Amino acid sequence: MQGYTRRQLKQDKFAEGTMSWASEHQQTLLWSIGVLLIVAVAAISLFAWNSRQTDQANLALSKAIRIFNAPLRQAGTPANEAIQTFTSIMERSKAAEKQFKDVADKYSLTKPGKIAGYMAGVAAMQAGDNAIAEKQLKSSADARDKDIAALAKMALATLYRSTNRQSDAANIYKDLADHPTDTVSKPAAQLELASMYESTDPKQAANLYQQIQKENPSTRAAQIAGAKLNKGENPAAPSF
């Protein structure tokens, strides 16, 4: 009985001490709970906002892509009110570029917005606006999203090749081969580099094709490399 009383006294003292501490720190406890609630509500609100932004960005991106892929009609042919058409690739590309840029600017924090930024560069390049294309593609190439950045770098390398900047293009292909992503594989970058070398350094091109065959047996990339080495028909571009 005495032992029980002693133990009970200890428990009572502990309870009193706990309540005393809680009373003394009541404001701190309430403030901490309030902060946690605010953080939780903010996180939920941010998630909901981001989801809405992403949904809206996807719709806007889809519209831009439809413009980019819109059919062409002969000059002088009346436009079809039911389907948007253009009289030239340049006209279509400029319209698509503007649409992609609007999406990229408005929804820059979403993935569709980042994809739109890359596509704005592609559309500008197709429209012949090389300076704008380079600026836009460089911006996308610096994106934190490695997959989008890799696509932008590939497009940028294509732009450099078309403007006689093979050295800059080679540097990009080599970097992409050293840092493959889900959107640009190592053999994809190597095939582009080898293709560029065919006219300037045939031996280096052959070495690359042989390397692709060795490292990627029984793949589409190996088949393309083999066809190049055998001077055969170049199969359709692969999907990596």
Q: What is the pLDDT of residues 194-220, one digit of tens each?
A: 999 999 999 999 999 999 999 999 999
Q: What is the pLDDT of residues 123-149, one digit of tens each?
A: 999 999 999 999 999 999 999 999 999
Q: At which of 137, 170, 203 does a domain end?
A: 170
Residues 158 and 220 in one domain: no
Residues 122 and 146 in one domain: yes
Please report whether residue 176 resides in a domain: no
Q: What is the pLDDT of residues 50-79, one digit of tens each?
A: 788 889 999 999 999 999 999 999 887 887
* Token output for 228: 């190049």
Q: What is the distance between the alpha carbons of residues 77 and 74, in angstroms, rounded to a whole number?
A: 6
Residues 162 and 136 in one domain: yes
Q: At which of 170, 199, 222 does a domain end?
A: 170
Q: What is the distance between the alpha carbons of residues 92 and 75, in angstroms, rounded to a whole number?
A: 13
Residues 152 and 205 in one domain: no
Q: What is the distance between the alpha carbons of residues 150 and 240, in angstroms, rounded to a whole number?
A: 13
Please report whether residue 213 resides in a domain: yes
Q: Where are the alpha helices (DSSP H) in the chain?
A: 2-24, 26-68, 89-106, 111-127, 130-141, 146-162, 166-178, 186-200, 202-215, 220-229
pLDDT for 47 beyond 50? yes
Q: Which of 211, 201, 205 is nearest to 231 (CA)?
A: 205
pLDDT for 28 beyond 80? no
Q: At which of 138, 170, 202 does a domain end?
A: 170
Q: What is the pLDDT of residues 76-99, one digit of tens each?
A: 788 777 789 999 999 999 999 999
Residues 87 and 158 in one domain: yes
The number of beta carbons lying within 10 Å of the beta carbon of residue 57 is 23
Domain that holds residue 235: 185-240
